[in-house]
Structure 1
Amino acid sequence: MDLNPRSLFELAFYSSFLLAITSVLLAKWRLPTLLKYGKTLQGVPSKGGILGSLQSLTVPKKWFGHFYVYSTALALLNVCFLRGFASLLVLTHSARRLYETRCVSKFGKDSRIHLSHYLVGLWFYTAVNCAVFVDRTRTRSPLARLVAVIVFVLSSLDQYRNHLHLSKLVKYTLPTYGLFQLVSSPHYFDEILIYLSLAIYTSSLKMFLCLVWVIVNLSTSALETRSWYAKKFPRAAPSFAIIPYLL
């Protein structure tokens, strides 16, 4: 096997996704506390021993903003060097999310995320921008590209409106805007659609793998959120977690 730099990168890229997806599924099965953050972490009792030490490794939830500072910088480099439309889409998404974390979202001073979430977030946005940089292809179908861009724009607008709605709520109350009446995390559904549009536009296996990660990771978080809503609002909680009429 010829392990040239490109082959080593490919091996590291695909292996990292396999490890990440496997880790989330194992954590869901054996260490579900590590998957909780924000409101779903409230009231979770601390454990002793090694598990307790792992559970206590948290950082402020507002550090989510670091992901988008980092991704915006990487995407800007891609735009400057590649000048491809896919890199511009990633830059647009990253910059919008950076704006939202700075000017729209409200993070409680006591709201925390696990350190593993933070590190995984940095890894993921590295992977996304590397996928755009390395696979500079795009789907040959103009219609598919057009559909991808339309889905990207509409889901981005909807995600912004959903985040704006969440920012105006009294803390830990039930959101009721739009798809919030049907799913507990429609902003996560928007994120899936955004990465679906990127995968379609680029026709890149690496970007499709990013999409798979987004589905697995956000579905896990959405299920935690729906479980929390079901306990706090048993009569009003939405019927689905993330994908209408499916999950």
Structure 2
Amino acid sequence: MLIFAGRGKILQPSSSQVTICPLLLVLLWRQKWTVPQKYFAHFYVVGVVWTTCLFAITWMYAFKMAPLTGGSHVDHWFKVWRAVFLLLLMEIHVLRRLIESFYVFNYSPCARMNILGYFTGLFFYAAAPLSLCINIAPEVSSDEAWMVPNDWCQMIGAVIFLWGWIHQRRCHAILILKDAKMLMQGSLRKSPSQAKKYIIPHGDWFEMVSSPHYLAEIVLYVGLLLASGGTDVTIWLLFGFVVGNLTVAAGETHRWYLRKFENYPASRSAIFPYVY
């Protein structure tokens, strides 16, 4: 999993990884098997374009096949409009990430990520929006009793999604300010070896975990999962991939911080407060 999660400062392997899997390092950690980290923007270009197309198609399908008047096909009506709602949440997320990639983050020219992780990211942002609307084939159901709790699931899921979205935005702002301080301090140093000095980030969820932006991403997908009703296997698979990938990346980031800073806060977890 680390092959796919490796990026930026955690792309270089630790000594334990060198001992355990030297052949893998020869094949995958070499510079020719990486791409610039700024290619992260490609993920969100794919995500925005594909999500927008699916959202438009699903919206038109909703009006044509499942009008707001409902009728006897209440189950199908709900699933179609739920898919529209989920795609809207995904659109909000990937659009913000695209704007951040182009206009907010300033990736170092030296920052790289593994090429397998790059292709995995492209596949993920092509598959993720599709998984939100894949299960809206026409169905007829006479049982409407379950509709009420699912309405509440959508509302609660949307609140959790926005909660994660807001905190991820805050954490990204903290990282941007940290990078700006690093550049400012680096410009004042005479020695090139001192030009890039990392700073421990503080504020918001950084006081609890080392990778709060990853935690916020997981919270986003918890919201999507709840808003979907939790009945679609594809969305569960999507959620599982997000949790697995980001947990591995956060663990490596946390260990990097511990190696880099002797005074790193001992109370911080890697990604899940008081758990891991």
Of 156, 167, 170, 1:161 maps to 170
Aligned CA-pair RMSD? 2.2
TM-fit CA distance, 1:159: 0.3
Match of 2:271 in 1: 242
What SS does structure 2 have at the residue aligned with 1:59?
Answer: strand
What SS does structure 2 have at the residue aligned with 1:134?
Answer: coil
Match of 1:217 in 2: 245
Match of 2:85 in 1: 85
Q: Deviations over 1:56-97 (max 9, x none)?
A: 200000100100000100100111111211111111111011
Of 21, 29, 41, 1:55 maps to 29
Distance change in 2, residues 1:35/1:78 (3 Å): closer
Match of 1:197 in 2: 223
Q: Which runs of 4+ in 1 moved over 4 A?
A: 42-50
Letter in 2 for 1:179: W
Match of 1:126 in 2: 126
8 A Cα contact 2:11 2:114, kept in partner: no
The normalised TM-score by structure 1 is: 0.80
Q: Deviations over 1:133-188 (max 9, x none)?
A: 31239x94211111100111111011011111101112631110111121000110
Distance change in 2, residues 1:111/1:210 (3 Å): same
Aligned length: 216
8 A Cα contact 2:5 2:246, kept in partner: no
Letter in 2 for 1:178: D
Q: Return the index of the structure with the highest Cα Rg.
A: 2
Letter in 1 for 2:224: L
Q: Deviations over 1:20-77 (max 9, x none)?
A: xxxx2xxx5xxxx664321123586899867423222000001001000001001001
Letter in 1 for 2:27: S
Distance change in 2, residues 1:115/1:244 (3 Å): same
Letter in 1 for 2:130: C
Match of 1:188 in 2: 214
RCO comparison, higher one (Cα < 8 Å, 6+)? 2
Deviation larger for 109-118 or 33-42: 33-42
8 A Cα contact 1:39 1:172, kept in partner: no
Q: Deviations over 1:90-140 (max 9, x none)?
A: 111110110111122221110000001100101111221221231239x94
Structure 2: give runs of 5+ residues left out of the alignment.
60-83, 138-145, 183-196
Structure 1: give runs of 5+ residues left out of the alignment.
1-23
The normalised TM-score by structure 2 is: 0.72
Letter in 2 for 1:165: I
What SS does structure 2 have at the residue aligned with 1:216?
Answer: helix
Within 1, Cα distance between the matches of 2:223 and 2:199?
Answer: 31
Of 51, 66, 80, 2:42 maps to 66
